[in-house]
Amino acid sequence: MQHRHGLSLLVLLCLALLGVDIGRHVLVDQNVPTFFMENRPAVQIALEGDWEGAGVYQISDGFALRDVIKMTGLEIARSGQAELPEAEPVRTGERYVLQIVDGEITGCSQAWMTAQQRIALGIPLHPDRMTQDDWRSLPGIGERLAAVIEEDRQNNGDYLTLESLRRVKGVGQGKLGRWGGFFLSP
């Protein structure tokens, strides 16, 4: 009797393994995902101000600031005097400080998140969107070199690429190599 139970158990185990194996091949052959996701790039922006929902938001690409505000549940001032950026899509790394009066947005200012925020979120940096404080957040840059980099940009124009920083005294290939992972690839 025990021999029959052992044999039955062995047959059931073999059938279960065969079922799993067949199921894996069917899914692989048909390219069926285990779950469906929207395949749109994500944009990360910071919404700041004196309200409960202030923070970093990750949204689908293509949304304008007004669309994002609608998702937060905030109201734009009905007086029509709320000055918001145009209807262009928001960009990854942007920072919006909302002025809120009585639960309504009355104004907004736009800037870039700090380099520390962008680094923490995995958002690539761009040398022309960096402030002197942003430069100091990178390894090997102190207050003096950050000031030299900023002064060079003011005197000689934008950098456009990380490699353009070689024109700055004190920036060599070694430093550029250490910073490369933080910046957009050319």
Question: Tens digit of pLDDT per residue, the chain (186 long)?
Answer: 566 777 787 787 777 777 777 766 555 545 555 555 555 578 999 999 988 889 999 988 888 888 888 888 888 877 656 677 777 899 999 999 998 888 888 888 899 999 999 999 999 999 998 999 999 999 889 999 999 999 999 999 999 889 999 999 989 999 999 998 898 776
C-alpha dist (Å) from residue 81 to 49, 76, 98: 18, 9, 14
Instruction: Judge contact between 75 and 49, C-beta under 8 A.
Output: no
Helix (H, G, I), strand (E, B) or coil at 109: strand
* Closest of 53, 56, 29, 26 to residue 43, by C-alpha: 56
With vertex at residue 52, the alpha carbon angle to CA 46 and CA 56, rounded to the nearest 5 degrees, is 20
pLDDT at 81: 61
pLDDT at 135: 95
Question: Rounded CA gap, 4 and 63, in Å?
Answer: 65
Question: Rounded CA gap, 109 and 118, in Å?
Answer: 18
Number of other CB atoms surrounding residue 9 within 10 Å: 10
* Closest of 71, 125, 61 to residue 93, by C-alpha: 125
Number of other CB atoms surrounding residue 125 within 10 Å: 22
